[in-house]
Structures are given as C-alpha cells and as structure tokens.
Amino acid sequence: MATSRHVLIVEDEPPIRELLRLHLELVGFNVSEVADGRAALDVIRSRPFDLIVLDVMLPGVDGITLCRAARAEGANVSTPLLMLTARDTESDKVLGLESGADDYLTKPFGMRELMARVSALLRRATRADRPAEAPPPRHLAFRNLAIDVDKRQVVAHGHPVDLTRQEFDLLQLLASRPGIVFSRMALLTKIWSGDEYVTERTVDTVVSRLRKKIERDAQDPELILTAWGVGYKFADVE
C-alpha cells in the first residue's frame, strides 16, 4: 500500500478505534479518527479520504445515514467505504441498495480479515481510476472460468457451458465486482427487474444451478461464494 493514503475511522468504541488505527498506521496510512456521528458528517462532507472505515451504530448520526450522505455529495462520493456492523441483521441494511458501502465486516472481526478487505477495496479503487478501464470489461477470466460478455459465452474448466439468461446475467454481475457482496434483494432488483413472481429463494435456486455448471465441486464452490445471512459474492481472485 502507498504511504500517503489517508483513512478516516468512524467508531465510538475506543478499543476498536485504537486497534484499527494501530493496524492501519502499520501499513502506512495517515489516520483520522472520529467517535461521533455528527462530527463525522462534517468531516466526510469536507475532506477527501482514500478510505473510510465506518461503524454502523454511532451516537448522533448512524453509519448508514453517514454512508448515504457521503455518497450523495461532497468530497467522498466514490471513496472506498468499509462498514462495521454489530449483528448480522445490520448487514442487510448495509448492503441494501441505497447505503453505498463497498463492503462490510461483522463484529467481532479479526484484524487479518479487516486488512485483507481493505487491500481488496484499495486494489479495486486503483483499477477503477484507470481511464482505460472505465468501460465494463468485455472479457472476464478467473482461474478456470472465462466469460465473453459480448458473445454471452462462458467456458469453465476448458468446456463451453450453456447458461440461461438469468444464470449468465447473475454470473456476469457477480464476476464484474469480485469480492463484493450482493444481497439477495440487490440481485433480484438488478437481474429480475420486471419479473413479478420471484422471491429471494429464486436467487438461491439460480445460484445452485449455476454452481453445478461452472464449479469444480458445486458443494464446495470456489467461484460463487455464500455470504451467510446476506447473499453472494464472487471470489476475489486475481
């Protein structure tokens, strides 16, 4: 990681804030800390950061409101943003369509996991900054999977795979943002918009069919991973 990056930590619990600061400083971040939601709102609107780590439960203004505010206007509309949630039920809200967070971690979390997520977020942000990569990629390739977006063709483990429209759209959406968790509701809205008779269970069914077609072992998937209680994500592989 570059040494000049500036991270904002918004967390009201001193021990967690301290731990985050320590680890982020160790990898060269300049760290700013805020413990209160209202104060955070001012900072987020006025100063650009390279990364924001944001707790959901805060005094004053909660993290989800802060996240929406950051995305709506000001200096951090596209800053990589990692949310910290206390319960699995909060994760749903974090990953709801409007929150705008890039990723989340459920407390308690290990620092190794946190640093891995931070690295992944920054890698993606760097890639997205490159003007040559602005249009969505036409070819996606991972381990034993290749996706030709224009031809809507998929090759898995060296063999062409026949996918239905939903299966292909779902795969393309997940694979275009490796490591990012999509809630079932977000997937439904993006892939099945207009279809009236679908439920979140539909997403599980299509994922299960897709895994049988593209995974080496559908029972032990390496590409389409389950984010327990929330939804799915594509493996963050280089």
Q: Which sign, positive or negative, has the C-alpha torsion 19, 111, 43, 25?
A: positive
Task: Centre a 10 Å sphere on the Cβ of residue 38 and count the other Cβ atoms it contains.
Answer: 12
Complex with Ca ion: residue 84 or 170, whichever CB lies closer: 84
181 within 8 A of 95, measured Cβ to Cβ: yes
Q: How far is the CB of 63 from Ca ion (least distance, A)?
A: 8
Q: How far is the CB of 130 from Ca ion (least distance, A)?
A: 35
What is the DSSP code (8-state) at residue 87? S
Give the separation between CA 64 and CA 74, rounded to whole angstroms.
16
Segment contacting Ca ion (CB under 5 A): 32-40, 56-64, 164-172, 187-195? Answer: 56-64
Segment contacting Ca ion (CB under 5 A): 52-60, 94-102, 109-117, 157-165? Answer: 52-60
Q: How far is the CB of 106 from Ca ion (least distance, A)?
A: 13
Q: What are the b/e assignments for 110-119, b being 16+ CB within 10 Å? A: eeeebbebbe
Query: What one-character-per-residue DSSP string does 170-197 give?
Result: HHHHHHHSTT--EEHHHHHHHHSTT-SS
Complex with Ca ion: residue 57 or 115, whichever CB lies closer: 57
- With CB under 5 A as the contact rule, the residue among 1, 27, 57, 185 that binds Ca ion is 57
Segment contacting Ca ion (CB under 5 A): 47-55, 108-116, 129-137, 228-236? Answer: 47-55
Q: Is 165 helix (H, G, I), strand (E, B) or coil?
A: helix
Q: Under the criterion CB under 5 A, does residue 12 sit at the interface with Ca ion?
A: yes
Q: How far is the CB of 43 from Ca ion (least distance, A)?
A: 17
Complex with Ca ion: residue 106 or 172, whichever CB lies closer: 106
Residue whose CB is nearest to Ca ion in the complex, by number: 57
Q: How far is the CB of 19 from Ca ion (least distance, A)?
A: 13
Complex with Ca ion: residue 16 or 198, whichever CB lies closer: 16
Q: First and final CA of the chain: distance in angstroms? A: 17
Give the separation between CA 208 and CA 181, rounded to whole angstroms.
17
Q: How far is the CB of 214 from Ca ion (least distance, A)?
A: 39
Q: Under the criterion CB under 5 A, does residue 61 sit at the interface with Ca ion?
A: no
- The residue ranges that bind Ca ion (CB under 5 A) are 12, 55, 57
